[in-house]
Amino acid sequence: MPEGDTIYRAARTLHRALAGRVVTRFESVFPALTRIDVDTPLRGRTIERVEARGKHLLMWFSGALVLRTHMRMTGSWHIYRPHERWLRRRDDMRIVVETDEIHAVAFGVPVADITSADGLERVQPIRDLGPDPLSADFQADEAVRRITSRSEIEIADALLDQSAIAGIGNVYKSEVLFAGRVNPFVRVGELATSDVERLVAIAVRFMRANVADGTPAMIETYRGLRRTTGRHDPGARLWVYGRAGKPCRRCGTPVARAKQGPNVRSTYWCPRCQSAERARSTSPPVRDRD
């Protein structure tokens, strides 16, 4: 699933391509979107801006309408010139927003709705979002408060909770915990507030480094350019994620991998650097063998 930095870069690229342009045609396979377009046509409206909130991409139109999409595991936005050949099949198309010079196409997007600007804040996934590390008004203390309030769950799952802190996905979860030397299976209530503050600061640093000007502004779902180690070698981009069985870049201990949490997400960690003795879960994780 694309994480917050991926959506941020996609929104930034869409904004640069579309902001200020007038919609000449709108098409969607979603009946609800088509019905709204019939009742309150998008054609003739100006695209005012495109922005990200956590893992949600918001396209704002004049007249106070907002198109919200969530990529989940399959979605991506592409931009094309008129008559340019699409890189994906038409059967994968979910939404088309055309202007005179740029066509934006959403492929494989499973979640989409159009709402009023006022109604957006009442849409539950938006209403319940925690502070976004990539927003200009990010409130670190509020993110820390929300995470620490989840005292009974494991810290890795707390970081994935979008109502605690927005935009963190499976990659950043593992990378942030490694950088903070925190075992992913320790319960939040067993951590000091200073530990949580450190993890939030690391998440902000990692995510902002991956959306800085000069980083690739790809529209397509993330394809492996994310870095947390600061190294430019493609084989040394990440500390632990995706490196099960390989030596820890700090101590040489084989990186471990296990399924974790109610959604059975993969977690990667170094048993030595991330002090396994700090994890006191009543049921220890079962290691994958694949």
**75 lies in the same domain as 115:** yes
CATH classification of the domain holding 12: 3.20.190.10
User: How many domains are contained in the chain?
Assistant: 2
Q: Which of 71, 92, 127 is at the close of a domain?
A: 127
Q: What is the pLDDT of residue 286?
A: 37
| Alpha helical stretches, state H, 19-131 | 31-39, 117-120, 124-127
Positions of the chain with pLDDT under 70: 1, 214-225, 276-290
Return the half-sphere exposure (C-beta side, CA atoms, 13 A cut-off) of residue 173.
Answer: 28
For 30, 59, 142, 252, 261, the CA distances from 290, given in Å and listed in that order, are 38, 40, 39, 21, 19
Q: How far apart are CA 143 and CA 133, in angstroms?
A: 9
Q: Residue 133 falls within a domain, yes or no? A: no
Query: What are the catalytic residues?
Result: 2-3, 55
**146 lies in the same domain as 252:** yes
* CB 168 within 8 Å of CB 177: no
**60 lies in the same domain as 151:** no
Residues in Cβ contact with 196 at an 8 Å cutoff, skipping those fewer than 6 apart: 144, 147, 148, 188
* CB 185 within 8 Å of CB 285: yes
Q: What is the pLDDT of residue 69?
A: 97
Q: Residue 237 falls within a domain, yes or no? A: yes
Q: What is the pLDDT of residue 290?
A: 32
* CB 285 within 8 Å of CB 275: no
Domain range for 198: 140-278
**Residue for token pair 């005292």:** 151
